[in-house]
Amino acid sequence: MTRESARHPWSLEVRMPVESFKPKPSAGWAWWIALAAVMVASAAPVLFLPTSEEVPWWVDLIMWGTVGLGLWFLAIAAYFPFMRYDLAETELVLSYGSLLVYRIPYSTLSSVERKNLAWGAQSSMRLPGLALWKVPYAHEGSIRMCSTRSSRGVLVLRTTDGVSYGISPAEEDRFVHELVARAQRAGVDLALDLASVPPSR
């Protein structure tokens, strides 16, 4: 029997288990609860006026819209415990419960760097301790965020199609080690720059 035929043709490549990582701790959820409380409190006096008091329909519409926005902010705060980063077999999945899911194939990754990001002038879904969805940053453009760090010590992942993602894994060293290993299995040698900026706490 030849060496080639001695191999087991039915043997399969060992699959890497899914590794899940939590984000760094943060009180970012509290900002969204505070905003929700402000929204609801500002609308309540108008919405609960006595029926004898006439209020223009458009005022009612604005007030109910304000309450709706407050409830949306509460939902953002409620989903905070569900933020995680999953290193799956062929892709990295960033999620914030069902409100946000980014799937990044390892084959599309090009680099990982730790950066201090300067906020842009445009408004977006980010406050201290929590940044979600597309956030515009000065000198960087829009970064798709799923992070408990909105500016300092953000781990920025760049892809070959020009899209950048910002994250903040609690076990940063282990996360990067696992990410590099899985990218190498996909035939990608990631460029790393983790020394220029100290990690955030």
Query: Does one domain contain both 117 and 165?
Result: yes
Query: Does one domain contain both 181 and 117?
Result: yes
Q: Could you tell me which of 196, 132, 189 has the C-alpha nearest to residue 166?
A: 132
Helices (H) and strands (E) in the chain, counts: 4, 12
Distances from the Cα of 120 to the Cαs of 71, 139, 143, 164, 186, in angstroms?
Answer: 26, 9, 11, 16, 35
Q: Could you tell me which of 157, 135, 154 has the C-alpha nearest to residue 26?
A: 154
Look at residue 8 and tell me if it is in a domain. no
Query: Does one domain contain both 74 and 46?
Result: yes
Query: Does one domain contain both 40 and 116?
Result: no
3-class DSSP assignment, residue 121: coil
Angle at 179 between CA 174 and CA 182, to 5 degrees: 125
Look at residue 17 and tell me if it is in a domain. no
d(CA 88, CA 90) in angstroms, rounded, equals 6
pLDDT digits (tens, 9 = 90+) for 116-171: 998 776 656 667 899 999 999 988 889 999 999 998 999 999 999 999 999 999 99
Count of structural domains, the chain: 2
Query: Does one domain contain both 184 and 128?
Result: yes
Give residue 126's domain range. Answer: 83-193
pLDDT digits (tens, 9 = 90+) for 175-199: 999 999 999 999 999 999 887 777 7
Query: Does one domain contain both 184 and 87?
Result: yes
d(CA 165, CA 106) in angstroms, rounded, equals 13
Q: What is the pTM (predicted TM-score) of this model? A: 0.80
What is the DSSP-derived secondary structure letter of residue 169?
B
User: Tokens representing 2?
Assistant: 């030849």
